[in-house]
Amino acid sequence: MPSSNLNLPHLPIHHASQSYTDEPTRSRTLDLWLPRPLEDSDPKKHVWIVYIHGGAWRDPLQTSQTLLPTLKHLSPIALSKIAGIASIDYRLSPYPKHPDEPSKPDDAERNVRHPVHIADVASALNYLGAKWKVGGKDGDSEDDGGEEGGFKWIGIGHSCGATLLCQYVSRIGLHDSDIKIAGPVGLILLEGIYDLSSFLKNHKPPKCSPEIAQIYEDIVVGAFTESKEAWKKASPVSGKFTEEQWKEGRLVYLCYSNEDELVEVEQAVEMRQKLKDDGWSAGKDAGDGRIVERKALHGKHDWIWEDGTQIAKRIDEIVEGIAKHL
């Protein structure tokens, strides 16, 4: 049964902490918000929004609930085109030095490494496809994955959530059999990490203190081991984003704030070039092709989701841009 959602009257239906695995665990859950009963939405008019939070693959305080500020700012126009919104939680890498909730070695939910994070995301999306018709066939194409009568979807990821979405569409850490739904038609990538080796290189002395450099090394090693080859293979810039690989993709927003104090602008620059190399057109004037647009944000790294207004604006824009593909 849906729970009450008194703080979001424009999203009256809220399904909290839904398990997306056969054996429920505290991390492998997601939250769902719907502006109307699903049967009252039309796959030819409405899309799903799927959000993946950040937190450097390890922060227990960044969860599916980090989407709430954005939800409060969604416009009526955007909601009129949205069938539902999902926010995904996933298992985390170790963080024994967390100031408030340090991880413990025997906690299976907080001691995982790649590709477990992306495998959890894929499982959550398969659940959304099976139960909520996300990424299913719309009746126009026999090649779409999923069930008949399904909805197209747009992915939003902040920080490592953006990394995970790029890994998903390029199959990094996944097998084809792990994915049972059609891919997203659009992505909103916020302050993402796309090249792990560059990420570490840009956070070493003299660019930062030894103490800060150690934090970044702990993040990457904790999530991806000490292997530089593993970092390369797991990085989105090593993936494929061609039409053959990700045929549903139509629009990508690469969003970055020059005030970001945690992730450098070179990450967005590299990812934009990677998409261009794989056939994406830069800018708004690419007709009906596959378009990547840079979107300027303002504020520090976590302020982007803490405030939520800028993400809501990007949602307004992308649902309008995707509407012609429904």
Q: Which residue is catalytic, options 138, 195, 260, 278?
A: 260
Catalytic residue (one of 144, 170, 301, 302): 301
The reply to whether 46 belongs to the active site is no
Q: Tokens in use for 45? A: 């008019």
Task: Give the model's pLDDT for residue 288.
Answer: 62
In the block, tokens 């194409």 appear at 141
Instruction: Give the pLDDT confidence score for residue 323 in this predicted structure.
Output: 78
Q: Are 78 and 315 in contact (CB under 8 A)?
A: yes
The CATH number for 13-323, chosen from 3.40.50.720, 3.40.640.10, 3.40.50.1820, 1.10.287.90, is 3.40.50.1820
Q: 64, 103, 159, 235: which one is catalytic?
A: 159
Burial class from Cβ neighbours inside 10 Å (0-12, 13-18, 19+) for residue 215 reads middle
**C-beta of residue 38 within 8 angstroms of C-beta of residue 133:** yes
**Element (DSSP H or E) covering residue 267:** helix 266-277
pTM, rounded to two decimals: 0.94
| Identity of residue 41 | S
Residue 255 carries which side chain, given as an amino acid letter?
Answer: C
- What pLDDT does 1 receive? 39
Q: Specify whether 80 is catalytic.
A: no
- The reply to whether 53 belongs to the active site is no
213 membership: H or E segment, kind and range: helix 210-224
Where do the structural domains in the chain lie, given as residue ranges? 13-323
Q: What is the spatial distance between Cα 9 and Cα 284, in angstroms, rounded to a whole number?
A: 34
- How confident is the prediction along the chain (326 residues), in pLDDT tens digits per residue? 344 455 799 999 999 999 999 988 999 999 999 999 999 999 999 999 999 999 999 999 999 999 999 999 999 999 999 999 999 999 999 999 999 999 999 999 999 999 999 999 999 999 999 999 999 754 344 444 445 669 999 999 999 999 999 999 999 999 999 999 999 999 999 999 999 999 999 999 999 999 999 999 999 999 999 999 999 999 999 999 999 999 999 999 999 999 999 999 999 999 999 999 999 998 765 556 899 999 999 999 999 999 999 999 999 999 998 877 66
At 137 the pLDDT is 52
Q: What is the pLDDT of residue 284?
A: 67
Cα–Cα dist 224/201, whole Å: 16
How much is the pLDDT for 148? 62
